[in-house]
């Protein structure tokens, strides 16, 4: 059984040439190959010049800071001593070597997310205990119960409205 993946005709983000994108690629095959070759050259350079900075790589290869950061985020430098290849945390600006946020900001983000989830669960009446203390099954059951209550409430209102409408119709029919 073959998967039916939709193919789209796109313009290459690098060279502008039209190509068929099978899996959402943004670059044509030739530009992907060129990009991979450039990445290999940069990796070789960083291995030979340990301690180099992002700006040195940018200057040496004529690539953007975003290109080098994407390489770092892909994990291409995982086994290479990157020396001064730091870039700023997106939250506080502290220099980091990988990821998007520094460990302090990640910790704060996790804590805040957990607090918000707990507050939301209590506010929605899903549970009187924080979500962080509930198992997945407990969370799903509590959420299903809440949805059932909401549906019952809707049906009850619907029934009330139907009763009112029926009474009005009966009055108008009786007057004729």
pLDDT tens digits along 17-41: 999 988 888 999 999 999 999 999 9
| Confidence (pTM) | 0.49
Average pLDDT, stretch 53-73?
87
pLDDT of residue 60: 92
Distance CA 125, CA 117 (A): 12
Average pLDDT, stretch 81-109?
78
Average pLDDT, stretch 85-95?
79
Question: Who contacts 106 (Cβ-Cβ below 8 Å, separation ≥6)?
Answer: 99
Query: CB–CB of 26/13 below 8 Å?
Result: yes
pLDDT of residue 113: 85
R_g (Cα) of the chain, nearest Å: 29
Name the band, by pLDDT with cuts 50, 70 and 90, for residue 8: confident
pLDDT of residue 96: 80
Name the band, by pLDDT with cuts 50, 70 and 90, for residue 4: low
Question: Who contacts 91 (Cβ-Cβ below 8 Å, separation ≥6)?
Answer: 101, 102, 105, 109
- Host H or E run for residue 88: strand 87-88
Distance CA 89, CA 96 (A): 6
Mapped onto helix, strand or coil, the DSSP state of residue 69 is helix
Q: For the CA atoms of 124, 129, 133, 134, what is the dihedral angle to 10 degrees?
A: -60
Kindly report the backbone phi and psi dihedral angles of residue 21, in degrees, each rounded to the nearest multiple of 5, phi listed first.
Answer: -95, 115
Mapped onto helix, strand or coil, the DSSP state of residue 85 is coil
């Amino acid at each position: 059984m073959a998967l039916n993946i939709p193919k789209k005709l796109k313009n290459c983000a690098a060279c502008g040439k039209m190509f068929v994108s099978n899996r959402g690629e943004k670059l044509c095959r030739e530009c992907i190959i060129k990009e991979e070759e450039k990445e290999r050259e940069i990796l070789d350079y960083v291995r030979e010049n340990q301690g180099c900075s992002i700006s040195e790589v940018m200057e040496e290869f004529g690539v953007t800071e975003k290109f080098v950061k994407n390489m770092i985020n892909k994990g291409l430098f995982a086994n290479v001593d990157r020396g001064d290849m730091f870039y700023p945390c997106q939250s506080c600006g502290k220099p980091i070597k990988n990821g998007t946020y520094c460990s302090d900001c990640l910790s704060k983000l996790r804590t805040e997310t957990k607090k918000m989830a707990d507050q939301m669960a209590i506010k929605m009446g899903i549970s009187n205990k924080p979500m962080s203390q509930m198992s997945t099954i407990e969370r799903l059951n509590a959420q299903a119960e809440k949805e059932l209550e909401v549906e019952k409430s809707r049906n009850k209102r619907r029934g009330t409205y139907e009763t009112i409408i029926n009474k009005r119709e009966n009055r108008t029919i009786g007057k004729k």
